Amino acid sequence: MADEAASSASPHHLGQRVRPPAPTEPGPDGQPRPSFYAARPGGWRDWWTLLHPPYTAWHLAYVVFGACLATHVSASRLVATLMAFFLAVGVGAHALDELHGRPLGTRISTTTLIVMSVLSLAGAVALGVVGVWQVGWALVPFLVIGPLLVVAYNLELFGGRIHTDVGFALAWGSFPVLVAYVAQTGDLAPAPVLAAAAAFFISAAQRHLSTPARLVRRRAATVDGAITMADGSVRPIDRQNLLLPLEGALHALSWGMVFLATAWAVARMT
């Protein structure tokens, strides 16, 4: 997974604007932080940054959506599916991503990242095996494809053919919806397929927002310029003004997805 972004201040944004932490707050080596939710480097804070909490929660919301489309929702199966995806995506995928070029600049050792990747993926697979025993063979293809997607996407295997906008939207959007539904029912149906399509496009939108934000945060040395308005006034272009609409949207969407998933789960299971 690990397609992240950032935030800060500027003019009007729907009256009350969402204000994630300022993008110019320094991170490692005095540089802007690698993501809007990144903590100061070192110790447990590196693990917070590595887990990408807003995006991990966002993609776990897809699991809830898929599960809650089932006629009868099993809370135990939903919790197990959430745990499997947290291990595979929240821990495993992000640890592999950090191994591949250290985009977050954490101080977590290479050995620790490798061990966490292996253990988290093994835990996710173990939960999947239990799911096959309970649900049936319909889960087996997903049990095979899931770990392959995590490794191939985050290590950019096969020449990076999977590490694309489409690959991201399929792996971290559509896939959780389908797996969660099959984990509940042992089968597929038109509704979860349509929901997977929705998750695909929402995740594609996430990627379109996070990619330029990461570019500005992690690769831009300086940002300068200006916009001349029709009335002749001039508005400066700087790092903050570029990041605010991108990361403000990501910040708001991550909360929105979590609350929507929570509301859906409460409605189905109470």
- Which pLDDT band holds residue 9 (cuts at 50, 70, 90)? very low
- Which pLDDT band holds residue 100 (cuts at 50, 70, 90)? confident
- How much is the pLDDT for 32? 67
- How much is the pLDDT for 270? 84
Alpha helices in 25-169 (DSSP H): 44-51, 53-68, 75-85, 94-99, 110-135, 140-154, 165-169
Count how many Cα atoms sit within 13 Å of the Cα of residue 158 in the half-sphere of its side chain. 12
Pairwise CA distance, residues 141 & 74, whole Å:
21
Residue 195 has pLDDT above 90, yes or no: yes
Q: What is the dihedral of CA 205, 98, 83, 202, to 10 degrees?
A: 0
- Which pLDDT band holds residue 31 (cuts at 50, 70, 90)? low
% of the chain beyond a pLDDT of 70: 88
- Which pLDDT band holds residue 6 (cuts at 50, 70, 90)? very low
Mean pLDDT across 60-77: 97
Q: What is the pLDDT of residues 139-166, one digit of tens each?
A: 999 999 999 999 999 988 888 889 999 9
- How much is the pLDDT for 3? 53
Q: Which two tokens stand for residue 55?
A: 């995006």
CA dihedral over 125, 155, 212, 205, signed as positive or negative? negative
Residue 2 has pLDDT above 60, yes or no: no
CB 18 within 8 A of CB 246: no
Residue 124 has pLDDT above 60, yes or no: yes
- How much is the pLDDT for 66? 98
| Residues whose CB is less than 8 angstroms from the CB of residue 158 and which lie 6 or more positions away in sequence, other chains included | 152
Mean pLDDT across 105-131: 95
CB atoms within 10 A of CB 30: 6
Mean of all residue pLDDT scores within the chain: 88
Pairwise CA distance, residues 44 & 30, whole Å:
20
Return the SS3 of 173. helix
- How much is the pLDDT for 160? 86
- How much is the pLDDT for 159? 87
Residue 91 has pLDDT above 90, yes or no: yes
Pairwise CA distance, residues 154 & 114, whole Å:
13
**pTM as predicted:** 0.86
- How much is the pLDDT for 19? 37
% of the chain beyond a pLDDT of 90: 72
| Residues whose CB is less than 8 angstroms from the CB of residue 149 and which lie 6 or more positions away in sequence, other chains included | 162, 171, 175
Q: Which amino acid is at 192?
A: P
CB 18 within 8 A of CB 252: yes
CB 20 within 8 A of CB 251: yes
